[in-house]
Each structure stands twice: as C-alpha cells, then as structure tokens.
Chains A and B, each alone.
Chain A
Amino acid sequence: MLDSWATGFSSIASPEAILLILIGTILGIFFGATPGMTSSMGIALILPVTYGMSLIYGMCLILGIYIGSISGGLITAILFNIPGTPASVATTFDGYPMAKRGEGGRAIRIGTLYSFLGGSLSLIVLFFLAPLVASFALSFSAPEYFAIAVFSLILISTLSGKSMIKGFISALAGLLFTTIGMAPVDSVFRYTFGFHALDGGFSILPVLVGLFAVVEIIKGAENPSGFSSKALKYKSKGIGVTWAEFKGQLKNMFVSAGVGTGIGILPGLGATFSNLIAYSVSKKTSKKPETYGKGSIDGIVASETANNATSGGALVPLLSMGIPGDAGTAIMLAAFMLHGITPGPLLFTTHGDVIYGMFAVLIVANILMYLVMIFGLGGFLKLLDIKKNILYPIILVLACVGAFALNNRIFDMWAIFIFSIIGYALVKFKFPITPFVIGFVLGPLLEINLRRGMMTTYGSFLDFFTRPISGSILIFTILLVIFYSLKGIRDKRIKTTFNNGDPKEI
C-alpha cells in the first residue's frame, strides 16, 4: 500500500509535472470564474493538448482544471452575484451579501478554505473507500434517481422563505422549460413549433447567464445612480475563520462533504445539485435558519464544501467502474482510452501506478488550488475596482461567447436573451429564481427516470415505493411536505393569535 503511494508521488516528482498541475489549476480557476464557461468545456479544450503527453502528465493538466474550475466559480459568485459555474449558485446567496458589506475578501477566503477541505474529504473517501462505495452506487437504478430528484426539488422549493407557493411555481416553470425539445425515450418533438433550433432544447448555461448575469446588469440599470459605487474595504487576512468559528462549522462541513461526495458518486448527478442540496440541508438543520441568505458563513461553507466534494466523489465510479460521474469525468474517460487504458474494476490491479499517480496529482492540485486562489485574492479584488458599468458588459460578452462556443450557434445567445427576460420577470414579480434553476436542472432527470423506472417495473408506480431505497426517499419526501405544510399553518395560527385576531401573512 505504502509503496504504491510512493510510486504514485514519484511519478509526479518532476518540475514539469508540478508546472502542468499549476497551469491546469490556474486555467481551471479561470474557466470556473468566467460565467459561460464550465469545467467540462475546459477539459474538452485541453484534451487535444494532452494527446502527445504521457498519461500522467495529461492527468496533471486535466485534474488541475477539474479541481480549479469547481472552486473558481465562487469568485464571481461572491463578488458579482453571478455564479461562474452552476456549482456555485448557492454561494451567491450568502457570498454576495457578505461582499456588499465589505467582507468579500473574507468570503472568498472561507469559500476557498472549505473548497479545499471538501475536496480533501472526498479524496479520502476516494482513496480508501472507492470499491465499497462503488458497489453501493450500483444498487441505484431509475426509481432511486427519480426519488432523489423529487426529494431535491421539494427540498429546494421550500427553501424560499416567504412564499412556498411561489417557489413551487418557479420550480414548475423551470421544469416546463426542459420539456421543450425532444422527449426522452421516444424522441418526439415537444413545443418546438417547427423551429428546428429548439429541437435540442435549452442547455443550462444560457439559462444561468440570462437569469443571473443579465439580471445583475438590469439591476444596475434601474438603480438611479448607475451602479452604486461605494468603495468598500475588502482587506482580509489569513484563513478567514477563527478557530471558534471553525469548530462551529464542523458539523456543517462534514454533512455538506457527505452530501457532495454522495451525489458525486451517483453517476449523472453533479456539483450543480450538490451545492444547492447541501445548502438546503444545512439551512434546514441549522439552529438559526433566518441568518441564511443574509451573509452567514454557514451558507458558503455548505455550498463550497459540497461542490468540491462532488469532484472527488465523481472520480469513484470513474475509476472503480469506468462509469463517469459527471461531464468532466466523461471527458477524462476519453483521455484514458486515448492512452490505451480502460478504467474499470481491473484498473487497480493492472495499472495501480496510474491510479496512485492520479491520487498524488489530486492531492497536489487541491493544495495548489488553495494557494493560487489565496495568492490571487488581491488580484481578484482589484477586479472590483473596475467600474461595474465597464466590467459587467465585458463579463456578459465573455459569457455569451462561452455559450456560443458550446454548440457554435447564435441560438444559444438568443437563449440567454430569452432567459434574461424570464429572469427579469421573475425578479420583478418577486418569484424566487433558485427553484427555477433547480427545476430546470432536474427536469430531464425526473422525466427520464420516471419513464425508465416505469418500464422496469412494468408500469407499476407502486413499485417505486416498495423498492427499499426509492421507497424510503419518497416516503421521507412526503413526510417532509406534510411536516412543512403543517408547520406553515401552525406558524400562521400563532401569528394570528399574537396579533389579536388580525390575520397577517408571515
């Protein structure tokens, strides 16, 4: 065991390898921070560059991007309220309020620290528990995925404090937009009205850019003084949390890491879910849920720990079964096969040195990610000095270009435009945006697994409840809904009696 590790580390004990990891990490952070570009795009772009290299050097680059991009998203999420990648959506909830108070630097430090910790925790699971966990993941089939999707949808829709109904409407609207395009299973066209551009449906990127980036610009446009340009102090030092705060966050950290790793291990779910789910779980199990969304570090801890933990988790099915956990790992699979290696159960025995080399790369990449982000912090904060009316249009152009680069068609930019209008409407009429995003992301998952599940159970929905895992998740979800509805009614009654019978909405 120990000598495998030694072999692993020795394979990257060269300046070229470390340099490649560094370059990969920096590139990854850049891709992560730019809205409109994602980690899988970065990995796809770098893949040809790795053709000529040995596998381990190629992995240095790829894994560097992989780890860097999940963390980079928090920079723009915190400073500009625009998530750099879907994995940092929940970071905007508490990160941006902190930035508005002048604590942006501290927020970034906290986010980076917990990204590092979350990644490390999931790497530990990867290193020591991979085969075990992988076989558990095998017992997840369509009904289980359906159950998880339903659970996540309900959980996140109830996040929005003020009006659960509006949250549900938002989520349903998001779901509805996913039905545009080809249906799963039988591929009939739905709601395309003859426009062939709509055949493929909308992808998450234009949706995010339109909902977040453009809406931010509009908010600035509607503010009478242009963008409020108050010079806020951003100085921060050290790690970002005191020892006391760190101890307070331990439970939050472990739970979020668990959620993130678990979701990563399930093929098909990625960091996009885990950060939102971890945030919801954290908020619901916290003793002071009302502080969430106003700049409490709990929110950032939950979101960033989970999304980095997902990257480690996603490598488990890749390395132990050859099944990619998310888009980035799918491209890694291609990289492996290019070099003549087929990931799978035998990988540990036939190419153990490769595996341990990768583990070594991951550890180094995680550390380098932390260092780069912290050293670059001054530079990131300088971005804030740029007047927003100059910076935001540039960010938007970058995002549009990224969206265009997805499929090389202008339609994706029109998609940004469409969703910016929707986002504007949602904000103006006070509907929460997050459930819309989660509905949009979960839509395909929900439908495909409902239909596949029904096919495997020969048309019996009841079987979804009798299967142990899906049944327990579904029943838990139903109990959750009942619990929260009753709680809502009870809270209303209490408020009513306190107001002397004057019926007032909470």
Chain B
Amino acid sequence: MIHKYKNLIAGCFILLFSLVFFLTSFSIKLTQIDTFVGSRLFPQIITVLLMLLSVWIIIENIVKNRKGIIEEEVQEDENEHSLEKANGPKQNYFKTILVFVSLALYISILDSIGFMISTIIYLFTQMFLLESKGKRKLIQYLVVSVISTVVIFYLFTEVFNLVLPRGRLF
C-alpha cells in the first residue's frame, strides 16, 4: 500500500525540507548589497529547484495513481525483487532501528567511557544484532570484539600516532 505513495511521501518531505531551507536562507548575512551573486544565491537556487522538482514528483504520483499505473509498476517491481523480499516487515524494521540506535549510543558514550570499552561494547552489540537468533555465537563475538578493538587501538595510537577518544577509564 505504501508502495503506491512512496514518491508522494518523498516529494512532500523534500518540499517541506527545501521550503525550510529556502526560508532560512533569508537570514544569511549579505555582505554586499548590490551583487546578485552573494552567499544567498546558491542555496536559494538549489532550494527553489528542489521545490519545483518535488512538486513535479508529487503531481506525477497523483496523476499516476488516478490512472492506475502505479499498480502495474509495483507489480513489476515485486517481480524483480521477489528474491529480496523481507519476511516479516515489522521484525526487520525493528532491527534496523536498533542498528541505528546502537550506532548513536556508541558515538555518545565514546567520550565518556573512552574508545576501548565503548568499541568492545558496540562491536559485540552490532555483531549480535546482525545475526539471526539461532546462529549467534556469543563467545566468538566477544573474543573478536576485544581482539579487534585492541588491535585497532594500538594500530592507530602507536603505529600511526593518532589520537583516539580517551575517557575516564580507557
């Protein structure tokens, strides 16, 4: 069902987004008054073009839905991608959200807990998340996480002399 309106949703979102950027572009300072090519020009051209194109997509989607063309396209698409179809959409989107959340959490705790521990936790979590229930090998993940974190840490700090986030612990 959502398939039909994908472009419509995308179009509306982009329209909104570019509208916001267009309106905020007027708060960009102008350093010269009489020139056409100031710092506002580029963002404004881009956002205007984006708005026009997104309106096009929205209208195109509405017209196609009226004419019933979308059903055929969706059927074509599904035939093409029948091998890649997901089993249970709800379950998979939940996993996706978890992947994003774990990445965000990782970045947030890096500074406070430090590179070593955060990375070990993150690697373990991510490896765990990406494997389906039956096949998880927790000990293997733990060992690999620890070893790779240590290797990366020493590679970057000792060999390349770069700085990694240090927290109160490691």
Contacts and interface: CB of A to CB of B under 8 A. Distances in A.
B42 A450 contact: yes
A224 B92 contact: yes
A421 B100 contact: yes
Nearest to A185: B39
Given A224-B92, A450-B42, A188 B29 contact: yes
Nearest to A414: B107
Binding site of B, secondary structure by majority: helix, strand, loop or mixed?
A: helix
A408 B165 CA distance: 8
A336 interface: no
A169 B50 contact: yes
B144 A390 contact: yes
A176 B48 CA distance: 11
B138 interface: no
Given A397-B148, A401-B156, A405-B162, A417 B135 contact: no
B53 A222 contact: no
Interface stretch (A88-96, A105-113, A212-220): A212-220
A221 to B, nearest CB: 5
Interface string A225-246: 1110000000000000000000
Contacts of B62: none
B86 A223 contact: yes
Contacts of A387: 131
B50 A172 contact: yes
B10 to A, nearest CB: 4
Chain A's interface size range is 35 or more
A169 B42 contact: no
Nearest to B50: A172
A3 interface: no
A459 B69 contact: no
A446 B45 CA distance: 12
Contacts of B7: 429
A424 B103 CA distance: 14
B152 A217 contact: no
A71 interface: no
B95 A222 contact: yes
A175 interface: yes
Contacts of B96: 218, 221-222, 424
Nearest to B118: A397
Interface in B61-99: 64, 67, 69, 72-73, 84, 86-88, 91-93, 95-96, 98-99
A397 B35 contact: no
A214 B126 CA distance: 12
Contacts of A459: 35-37
A176 B43 contact: yes
Contact of A222 (B43, B69, B92, B119): B92
Given A217-B99, A218-B96, A224-B86, A183 B39 contact: yes
A217 B130 contact: yes
A404 B160 CA distance: 14
Contact of A226 (B67, B99, B131, B152): B131
B14 A169 contact: yes
A404 B64 contact: no
Which 4 pairs between the two chains have the least Cβ-Cβ distance?
Answer: A389-B130, A183-B39, A393-B126, A224-B87
Given A221-B98, A396-B126, A451-B37, 18 more contacts: A45-B162, A179-B42, A186-B32, A188-B28, A190-B43, A221-B99, A222-B96, A226-B130, A394-B144, A401-B156, A410-B111, A410-B165, A414-B107, A417-B104, A420-B103, A446-B42, A450-B42, A503-B67
Interface of B: 6-7, 9-10, 14, 18, 21, 24-25, 28-32, 35-39, 42-43, 46-47, 49-50, 53-54, 56-57, 60, 64, 67, 69, 72-73, 84, 86-88, 91-93, 95-96, 98-100, 103-104, 107, 110-111, 119, 122-123, 126-127, 129-132, 135, 140-141, 144, 148-149, 152, 156, 160-165
Interface of A: 45, 165-166, 168-169, 172-173, 175-176, 179, 183, 185-186, 188-191, 214, 217-218, 220-227, 387-390, 392-394, 396-398, 400-401, 404-405, 408, 410, 413-414, 416-417, 420-421, 424, 429-431, 446-447, 450-451, 454, 459, 503-505
30 contacts: A165-B57, A168-B49, A168-B53, A172-B53, A176-B18, A176-B43, A176-B46, A179-B43, A186-B32, A188-B30, A190-B39, A190-B43, A217-B130, A218-B96, A220-B130, A224-B87, A226-B132, A388-B130, A389-B126, A389-B131, A390-B127, A393-B127, A396-B126, A400-B107, A410-B111, A413-B107, A420-B103, A447-B42, A454-B37, A459-B37
